[in-house]
Chain A
Amino acid sequence: MAALSRTSQNLTVAVVGAALLWISLFSQAFLNYVRPGFRPFLIAAGGCLVVLAVVGAIRHWRDPAAHGDGHAQACGHGGHGPRAAWLIFLPVLTIFFIAPPALGSYTATRDGEREVLGRVDESKYQKRSPYPMPMDVWEFYTLARDGRHDMLSGQPVELTGIVVPREEGGWYLGRFKIFCCAADAAALRVRIHGKPSPPADTWVTVAGTWVPPANGKRVSQGVDPELSVTRLERVPKPLEPYE
């Protein structure tokens, strides 16, 4: 009985390894779940598992009686082994059957506001330009939160994100910043003025200028930064959905 049990083990390890390779080496799906820099680790781990399983299978096929049979006799018992080992198939099945997409407007609406971290490299934005300056949403968010009128006033910026409907009417440009994986995503919302809302979850690039908060409140006090938009275009989903 352990014979196929050993085979099942090899098969399980191979399938998990192949799934890791599938989302990291043969497709870009991993970008929906973890940071881009994680790719080498995923490839290494997937490769390790596949090699482990293949070597195991070769050894077993060459010499099926070498071991495992002794083990089978040692644990000739009823079926009360750890069912947990099966569960390792669940993420694999989820990847293939649900194909989870990047987080979208559903999460962006539900998430509480966040004060986002990270230091903006201000030297990038020192030089003023009459043209909209492409900027990460989190950078815009952070500068607006810190009340950097000197950086943002009158300087058109270009932001890319998804359309997040606003409950009270109007819409946000939403983007997620992740630090490790999608489970720690912080939802960033920029309230958009000047253009009607495209359908929810559409990827758009908008260009416009920062609207300083009327009452002097800062973002961290519960106000999303606002952008008055003069140009809006639909864009394909970027390769990296998170910042």
Chain B
Amino acid sequence: MPDKPSGAASVVLAHDEDELFPPPSWGRREQPSRAGVLWALVAVAAALAAGRLWVAPLIDAPAVQTWATVFVAISVQALPFLVFGVALSAAISAFVPASFWMRALPRRPAAAVPVAGVAGVVLPGCECASVPVAGGLMTRGVPPAAALTFLLAAPAINPVVLVATAVAFPGRPEMVAARFVASLSVAVVVGWLWARFGRAGWLRMPARPATAGEGKWEVFRRSMEHDFLHAGGFLVVGALAAATLKVVIPGGWIAAVADTPWLAVLALALLAVLLSICSEADAFVVASMTEFSPVAKLAFLVVGPMVDLKLIALQVGTFGRGFAARFAPVTFGLAVGVSALVGWWLL
């Protein structure tokens, strides 16, 4: 059973929940009959089957199909990570007592930040998983600065991503080292900046569904459903934008700037934001852009897991618009700067 403080917290957060639950227009006032729910399910299934049978064959414009393929591919590829992330986040909320984090992390945020950054090593996955997990950590009393550092570090420095980077750059272990060093540095610096200058009002603390008096499993289930629906919608926004850009940007245009070093770094950093490629695959994509300097490639690898359209959408959904508007540009600027420095040093 949840302890008293979490019950109190859910009361405090209740006013915010209108932001977090699907709109009331989803429902009517009447109690739904069981038959009604079944009929709704049947209607959805019938509509989807009809679409497959009659609408799908009519759509054969190659541009539309390509767009749809890329959109579905990004969504389908991200959903398992998102499910994993919200499950982990819900488990943190339901099963890990807040006191654990008090003991595990240094009391002072400035000291907790580097610890949280290095802890990012343990979350194997891409950036879609880390946003809900960071939200879950915050609701359990982890200082926002530390949770944000974890959010930035985890998708870039976990073993899965580092191994993928090593495979994509055969014989160039310095690229893996540079990625690790640059990503961790950016994450820690952003965390310290937040600890020093951040204001609580910029961050909308992720609310939990009101769960006073529920069992732990019910808290877990409701948190997971809630987070999934919420983050999932925003993930789709990001996937829409990325798919559109993939189809609209003609291949090869970006190679035109490859010869000017600083422009090349900026161009690849910007491309990382627009393309929103999963951090487990981005190394392969950028390694194939042979026209670009190693420093520009490093910028792509550092920026991608920290700032991209999909992530910005997820952050807006989880932490609020005011947060994302400040956090994303600062992170982007730092990521580009640190990549240039580390690249100059290591590559």
Task: Give A contacts to B, CB under 8 Å.
Answer: 1-5, 7-16, 20, 23, 30, 32-34, 38, 41-42, 44-45, 48-49, 52-53, 55-57, 59, 61, 64, 67, 70-72, 74-77, 79-88, 90-107, 110-119, 179-184, 186-187, 220
Contact = CB atoms under 8 A, between A and B. Distances in A.
Contacts of A20: 76, 79-80
A67 to B, nearest CB: 7
Interface in B1-45: 14-15, 17-32, 34, 37, 40-41, 44
User: Which of B24, B52, B84, B255: most chain A Cβ within 10 A?
Assistant: B24
Interface string B276-301: 11101110110111100000000000
Task: Give the contact-size bracket for chain B.
Answer: 35 or more
Contact of A9 (B22, B40, B168): B22
Interface stretch (B94-102, B138-146, B224-232): B224-232
Interface of B: 14-15, 17-32, 34, 37, 40-41, 44, 48-49, 51-52, 55-56, 59, 62-66, 68-77, 79-80, 83-84, 87, 167-168, 170, 209-211, 214, 218, 221-222, 224-226, 228-230, 232-237, 239-240, 242-243, 246, 250-252, 255, 275-278, 280-282, 284-285, 287-290, 317
B228 A13 contact: yes
For the residues of B in contact with A, the DSSP-based class is helix
29 contacts: A1-B28, A2-B27, A4-B30, A5-B22, A13-B228, A13-B229, A52-B225, A53-B225, A72-B24, A74-B15, A75-B18, A80-B18, A81-B25, A82-B230, A85-B21, A88-B236, A91-B236, A97-B48, A100-B72, A106-B62, A110-B251, A111-B252, A181-B77, A183-B242, A183-B275, A184-B281, A184-B284, A186-B285, A187-B251
Given A11-B44, A112-B255, A55 B221 contact: yes
Contacts of B59: 97-98
A111 B282 CA distance: 17
A85 B52 contact: no
Contacts, number: 277
Contacts of A7: 27, 32, 37, 40
